[in-house]
Amino acid sequence: MKIRRSGRLVDMTSYLLDHPRVLVSLSFFSDRYGAAKSSISEDLGIIKLTFEQQGIGSLHTVAGAAGGVKFIPYASEEGSHEFISKLCDLIAKPERLLPGGYLYLTDIIGNPRLVKKIGLLFATVFSDRQVDVVMTVATKGIPIAYAVAAYLDVPVVIVRHDSKVTEGSTVSINYVSGSTGRIQNMVLARRSLAEGSNVLIVDDFMKAGGTINGMVNLLEEFKAKVAGIGVLVESKEIEDRLVDEYISLVRLSEVNVKARHIEVEEGNYFQFMKPLSLGDEEEIR
CA atoms of 184 and 197, how far apart (whole Å): 25
Confidence check: pLDDT of 278 > 70:
no
- Residue 137 resides in a domain: yes
Q: What is the model's pLDDT at position 277?
A: 57
- Residue 278 resides in a domain: no
- Mean pLDDT of the region 88-117: 93
Instruction: Name the domain count of the chain.
Output: 2
CA distances in angstroms from 164 to 143, 160, 169, 193, listed in the order given: 20, 9, 9, 16
Q: What is the model's pLDDT at position 279?
A: 45
Domain that holds residue 204: 77-272
Mean predicted lDDT score pLDDT of the chain: 91
SS3 content of the chain, % helix, strand, coil (to 5): 40, 25, 35
> Are residues 154 and 198 located together in one domain of the fold?
yes
Task: Give the whole-number percent of the chain exceeding pLDDT 90.
Answer: 77
Sheet containing 156-159: order of strands: 156-159, 133-137, 198-206, 225-235, 247-256, 261-266
Q: Which helix (H) or strand (E) holds 191?
A: none
> Are residues 66 and 113 located together in one domain of the fold?
no
CA atoms of 226 and 190, how far apart (whole Å): 17
pTM: 0.92
Confidence of residue 280 (pLDDT cuts 50, 70, 90): very low
Confidence check: pLDDT of 31 > 90:
yes
